[in-house]
Amino acid sequence: MVELLERGAYYAVFIAITLYLSDVVGFSDIEAGYVAGIFSAGLYFLPTFSGAYADKIGFRPSVILAFSLLAVGYFSLGLLPYKAAVIPALFLVMLGGSFIKSIITGTVARETEPHNRARGYAIFYALVNVGAFLGKTIAYPVRINLGIVYINYYASALAVIALIVSLLFYKSNREKGTGKSIQEIWHALFSLLKRGRLVVLIILITGFWMIQYQLYASMPKYIIRTVGAQAAPEWYANVNPLVVVLMVMLVTELMRKKKAITSMVVGMFIMPISALAMSMGPWLSNITGSSISFGIFSLHPIAVMMIVGIIFQAIAETFISPRYLEYFSLQAPKGEEGMYLGFSHLHSFLASLLGFISSGYLLDKYCPNPNTLSEVEKLTAYDHAHYIWYIYAVIGITAAVLLVLFAKITGYIDKKKALNQVV
C-alpha cells in the first residue's frame, strides 16, 4: 500500500516536472532538461547502493528514512520554487526514491515464501501500476484548478501518509542482513562493463527508452504549447500503462517460442512508428480542423495523434521489456543473476540523461517557452514543433537497425562457439 502511495506521488510530480521547472521555477527548457535528466538518472543509478545500505541498517529504519526524505523533498519543491532551493529538494526526493525502489521489492522477497512469492510480486506490480495511473490522473485537475505548485504538496501529503502507515504497521522478523559492501557493488559494476555484449545491448535499448521518456520530457510541454493549457498530457500518458496491462500477456504468449532478441527487434521497429505518429498532429489538423468529436468528448488532432503514438509506444514496450530482462539474466554469470539484473536498468540511467537533455535542446529550438516570445513570434513559433518527433524517430530506427546487426553478430559468435565445443 505504501508503494501505491509512493508511485502516486512520484508520477504526479514527474509528469509535470519539466513544466514546473520552466514555468514556475524559471529554468530555460535546456536547463530544465539537464535538471530533470540528472534527477531521473539518479533514481535508476542509486538504488543498488542505497539498497546495500538498507540491508545493513534494516528495512524498517530505511523505509521510515525514505518517506521522511520524500515528504520533506516534495514539500520543499512546492514551498521554495527557486533555482537555489529546487536542486537540494530534488536531491532529497531522488535519495528517498532510491531507497524505496530497493526496500519495497526487497520486503516482498523477505516476507514471502517460495509458495507465495509470485503472488506477492503480482500484488506489488498491480499496486505500482494503480499508483502510477492514479498519480497522473489526479495531477491534471490539481494543475488546472490549483496550479502546478500544488502537485508537490499533494505528493508530500501522500508521502506523509505512507510514513505514518510505515511507523504504525511495518513490522518484520527478518530485519538482520549484511548485504553487499559498496566496494563489492562497484566491483560488480566494473565486471559488467567488461562484458561487451551486455554493454552494447544496454546502449541499443537506451534508444528505445529515450523515446519512451519523452512522455515526461517533451510531451507535456509540446501538448500544452501547441494545444493549450486545458489539454491533459497527464491523462494521455496513462494510455501507456493501460495498453501494457492489456497487451503484455498476449504479446508474451505470441512471442513465447521466439528468441528474446527477436521479440526485442520487433519492438524496436514499432517504436519509430510511435514517434512518427506523434509528429502527424499538424497533418491531421489540416484535414479535420482544430477538433475531432468522439461523441461525448472531443480532442484536438495533435492530442489524438499523441495518443495513437503512445499506444504504439506501449505495444513496443510489451515486446521489449520482459524479454530484455530475460536476455540479460541469461548472459549473467551463474550465481550473479540478481546483481546483474540490478544493473540491467542502466539503460534507464542513460536514457534519462540523454532523453531529457536532448528534449531540452529540441524544445528550445522547435517548441519554445511562450513566456520567452513576443506576440508576433507566437504566431509562427510552433509551425515546426512536430520536428521534435522526427528526431526521435531517426534515433529509434537507428537503434532498431543496430539491434538487428547485434543479433546477427552475436548469433554467429554463439554458433561458432558451439561448433568449437562439439569439435
Angle between helices 301-331 and 239-254 (to 10 degrees): 50
Q: What is the signed CA dihedral for 320, 325, 326, 328, rounded to 10 degrees?
A: 110
Q: Which residues contact 217 (CB under 8 A, 6 or more apart)?
A: 18, 33, 36, 37, 355, 356, 359, 360
Question: pLDDT, tens digit, for every residue of 93-123?
Answer: 999 998 887 777 777 767 777 777 767 777 7
- 298 φ, ψ to 5°? -130, 155
Q: Which residues contact 98 (CB under 8 A, 6 or more apart)?
A: 42, 43, 46, 47, 49, 50
Domains plus CATH for the chain? Answer: 1-170 (1.20.1250.20), 189-423 (1.20.1250.20)
User: Is 90 exceeded by the pLDDT of residue 74?
Assistant: yes
pLDDT band of 325, cuts 50, 70, 90: confident
User: Is 80 exceeded by the pLDDT of residue 180?
Assistant: no
Within 10 A of 337 (CB to CB), how many other CB atoms are there?
A: 14
Question: pLDDT, tens digit, for every residue of 186-202?
Answer: 777 777 777 778 888 88
Question: pLDDT, tens digit, for every residue of 267-280?
Answer: 999 999 999 999 99
User: Is 90 exceeded by the pLDDT of residue 17?
Assistant: yes
**% of the chain exceeding 70 in pLDDT:** 92
Cα(335)–Cα(319) distance, integer angstroms: 27
Q: Which residues contact 115 (CB under 8 A, 6 or more apart)?
A: none
pLDDT band of 336, cuts 50, 70, 90: low
Q: Give the pLDDT mean for 191-216.
A: 87
Note the Cα 323 to chain centre separation in Å: 18
User: Is 70 exceeded by the pLDDT of residue 174?
Assistant: no
